[in-house]
Structure formats: structure tokens, C-alpha cells
Amino acid sequence: MTPIDRPSESDNPLDHVDWKEAEAIMRRVIISKVGSRGRDDFDDLVQEAIVALMRAVSRGGVQTLEGLTVTIAQRQAYDYLRRIRRPSEPIPELPPGTEDIPAPLEDDDPTLDELEFYVRQILPALGEQCRELFELWFELRNLKLVAERLGVRHDLVRKRRERCIARAYEIFLADDGPLGEWLRERMGVAS
């Protein structure tokens, strides 16, 4: 196996990685974890893992590149197994050191990653109070903790949150694309 670290004069951290080798490692890891069940999705899974590694490398601070490559590939494989598992099957256990990622929704729905991305993108349109509230929500996912962090009463946070949600609904429901369709479906509103 060739080293995944590649000496380079470039300032771009992405140039310091042998991406062909990284891809080969990821492919081996993903195939070994997913097996034949993911045959049709191997290429997509590997490419998604490569993008995740590119992000990590871009941000800097990577200690052991090969270890991180394996970890990201494992996370990708286990996330995939969770996504395709039948309800009767146990949830695949993640190895220590990898982050669990919740299974996404039905196939045609936007994934949780996508939904959270889009909600974060509309935050500037909601105003400062709502932006702060949503960002704390994404960090804590617990309204009582959000209230504590803000230093205001729980019931006041709930009221503020209602106003912020109404504004977010206004934006999403004005959309005739997948985001509007998703929210209308969730609200039980006919399209």
C-alpha cells in the first residue's frame, strides 16, 4: 500500500493527500462492511466519504490521515446499513470512535442533513432572535437547555419559538419545490 500522505509544496491541504489511495482504502472498508447489499451504491458511498474526508482535510488538524480515512469510510458504511435496514433488523452497532448518524427519512424525502442545511440557510431571514434560538436548538435539541442558555424562562422561549417557526413556515410554504412539498406533507396540508 502506498502512503496516503503525499508531500507537496502547495498551500492547498487537499494537494497533500493521495486521493487515489484514499479512495482505494475507502472502497475496501465500505465493501467489507456493506457487502453485496450495497453493490449498486458503492460508488456513491465512496464519493460521499471522499467529500467528507476533503472537508476534514480542508479544516486542518488531521493527526493520522489513514486512520481518519478508515473512520469516515466506516461511518459511511454504517450509516448506509442503518438507512437500508428492515424494521425487524437490529440497528447496526458502530465501532468505538465513530459518530452515529441518524437514519434519514423515506427515500424521496430530503435527508436530515439536507433539511438542517436548508433551515440554517434561511436563518438570516428570520431575524437575530430566531437565528440565535435555532442555532441553540441545533446544538442542544432540548428547549429547557436552550432556555437556560438564553437565561430566559422556558415558557417565554416556547412563545418566541412559535413566532420563529411561523416565519420559517411562511418561507418554506411559499416554495413549490421539494422543501415546500415536504413541509406541506408533514403538516397534512394538501398540495
Partner 1 sequence: MSPADREHLWASEHLDMFATGLMQDEDLNRFEQHLAACDECRGTVHALAAPEANRGMHIPDALIARWPTTRTTLRGLQRELARRHLATCEECRSILRYRGQSLELERVPGLEPSAEALAALDGLAPSLPGSLGQRTVELPRPRFNLREFLFGGAVGGLVAAAAALAIVSTLSLHPAQHPTPANPGVPALRLELGGGAAVRTLGSIEAGNLVRGGRGDTTITLAPGQSRVRIALAPEPDLAPETQVELELRDAGGALLMHTSMPYSYLIESDRGLAIASDGALPETDLTLLLTWTATTGTRHTVHYLVDLRR
Residues that bind partner 1 (CB under 8 A): 12, 14, 44, 47-48, 50-52, 54-55, 58-59, 91, 99-102, 105, 108-122, 125, 133-134, 137-141, 143, 158, 161-162, 165-166, 168-184, 186-187, 189-191
Q: With contact defined as beta carbons under 8 Å apart, do 149 and 136 qualify?
A: yes
> Beta-carbon neighbour count of residue 157 at 10 Å?
20
Question: Exposed (0-12), middle (13-18) or buried (19+): which is 45, by Cβ within 10 Å?
Answer: buried
CB count in 10 Å sphere of residue 169: 13
What is the rounded CA–CA span in Å between residue 111 and residue 114?
5
Helix runs in the chain, H state only = 19-34, 42-59, 65-84, 112-126, 128-140, 143-150, 154-173, 178-187
CB of 35 to partner 1, least distance (A): 21
- Least spacing, CB of residue 107 vs partner 1, in Å: 9
* Cβ count within 10 A of residue 133: 23
Of 3 and 178, CB closest to partner 1: 178
| Alpha-carbon gap, residue 129 to 147, rounded angstroms | 13
Alpha carbon distance 154, 44 (integer Å): 43
Minimum separation from the CB atom of position 165 to partner 1 (A): 6
Taking the C-alpha atoms of residue 56 and residue 14, their distance in angstroms, rounded to an integer, is 10
